[in-house]
Amino acid sequence: MAISVHFQISYLHLNFQKMKILIVEDEIEMSKTIETSLEQSGYRVETAVDFKTALDKIISFQYDCILLDIGLPDGSGLDLLNELKTLKKEDAVIIISAKDSVDDKIKGLELGADDYLAKPFHLAELNARIKSVIRRKNRQEDEFLTYKNLAVDSENRIVLIDSRELILNRKEFDLLYFFLTNPGRLIAKTSIAEYVWGDHAEDSDSLDFVYSQIKNLRKKLQQHGAEIEILSIYGAGYKLI
């Protein structure tokens, strides 16, 4: 079930306002300040104040950039970097930490961090660093994500089945892309709802929404001869095979 990639994207014209950022920071005031600044810049922002919450989010979702504090109350940000590596996740990571030591910086970069920014820092510099690491990541990624007989152009939001275009609405496309970036993995309904609606999704509405949109997506995929299938796992969620 390998995903193949072909990079042609013009990364100089990335729409950063659609990017999703995770802030892992236990200092509530600092986290809120960063969150407010990034939301004003148009980013979608989620937060985690401890290791466990951050790990749950990292496992369940994909982010364009993770802002990662090393010193967390119940673990180390360096251990989260190890988890990202184990999970083969490609999220960009910027370490933000008061520990401005050479050893911490080297350890973080060796474990896969893309950049390191010591506290205190200017929000304008943080914003510039985020844009920089996202650009670098996108130079290494694909405009087209292919799986079996599907090809997805994430930049232009186009889906092809055996080279024929499949028309999806915005939410159907988001759901399909989420499944394609997590092939073979069981995904809970709540995780899907949060991916589409964010942290503040209403449970009843969002779960009904997930059911109806996946039903519509399945029908369209089947009608157009897609070789993939979205399985319902009773009481657990969904899986793409």
CATH code for the domain in which residue 42 is found? 3.40.50.2300
Q: Are strands 164-166 and 71-72 parallel, antiparallel or unpaired?
A: unpaired
Q: What's residue 231's pLDDT?
A: 93
Distance CA 146, CA 152 (A): 6
Q: What's residue 198's pLDDT?
A: 58
Quick check: is 2 in a domain?
no
CATH code for the domain in which residue 182 is found? 1.10.10.10
Distance CA 117, CA 129 (A): 9
Q: What's residue 86's pLDDT?
A: 86
Quick check: is 6 in a domain?
no
Residues of the domain holding 109: 12-139
Nearest Cα neighbor of 90 from 35, 133, 50, 55 is 133
Residues of the chain with pLDDT under 70: 1-18, 99-102, 138-143, 196-206
Q: Are 11 and 138 in contact (CB under 8 A)?
A: yes
Q: What is the pTM of this model?
A: 0.55
Q: What's residue 13's pLDDT?
A: 41
